[in-house]
Structure 1
Amino acid sequence: MNLSSLEVTRLEAELSKAVEAILFVAEAPLSVDELAKTLEVKPADIEGALEELGARLNQGSGIQLVRIAGGYQLCTRPEMAEAVGLYLKPQRRRLTRSALEVLAIVAYRQPVTTQEIEEIRGVQSDHSLRTLAERGLIEEVGRKQTPGRPILWGTTQEFLHQFHLNHISELPPLDEGEEPTLEEVGA
């Protein structure tokens, strides 16, 4: 079979797109041989596709084709670092009122069990506890020596950092019998 130069160019362009898509989803650099085996083509065809892809990406793309560790990977261009950094900057999502209530209870009553928190609040607090733990504000600090050995919760170094405290003792004092309010923990 004899392909015209136009057909060869189209096949090369399609192969280049396929290589680009695979490199886009790959978690690590891929070698020419790995790409050739995946796409069931010759390594020389992959080399041509990589050359075409690199040339295409060099025409004003924020992405570049980079040779790393014996393979190829798509990476953001160094000049895009500021834009990428803006996106990757941790997003400060606000805590819900219920999560702040739970955090205040843990901060002032630690170590405290889930049951003790729920007795104070009068509602289930599992979701708030999970959210606070995922954000690194509270953690399991032990187990209570009672039947069932429930988890004891306490605040973390991240809690101290976010609320600008050196030590938990720097929390504003509570009057006798007073429950902590959101304002007192800096919310």
Structure 2
Amino acid sequence: MSELANIIVGILFYESDSLKLEELVSLTGKKEDKIKEAINEISEIYNTSNSSINLLSHNDSYQFTITGEARDLIMVRDAKERDGELSRAALETLSLIIYLSHATKNEIDYIRGVQSSYMLRVLVSRGLIARGSKSGNQTIYIPTIETLRFMGLEKIEDMPDYEKIHNDLSVAAKNSFIISE
């Protein structure tokens, strides 16, 4: 596999959402034609082998997906998680999104100090957060009405020490933007 294809594989595994061609160009600094060549190479490797991972591509957007028996096993596990209690990490991620009123994955990762793709997927699948419009190349995650019901709140501002924590986290979120530039 070429170096560029290998880099794109890593980027796509890291992201929980699909990435547009322009985003891959921006992230790698390579031209569109080189990205498309690498995508074709990745597709040949993953989509033609007996792999449980496939590369989806639609309208110049790309995302890895799980197929076959691995997909079935993950779906069973995800169903258990949707129906069970939220983990501490999921509650932490949800709290950040509530206090910030909206947040990008990079902001959440920066504040938590760990990668949050899985937690975001769990919270989206439960309807506790939603994907909002994009901010640049980043999807924004927002609380839903189900969040209020789950937390027993009438409005987001009813969270304990909302103003102070909101302001503190907003400063931290801005720092993540400065660092990521």
- TM-score, normalisation: structure 1: 0.42
The structure having more radius of gyration, on CA atoms, is 1
Higher RCO (C-alpha under 8 Å, 6+ residues apart): 2
- TM-score, normalisation: structure 2: 0.44
Choose between structure 1 and 2: higher helix proportion: 2
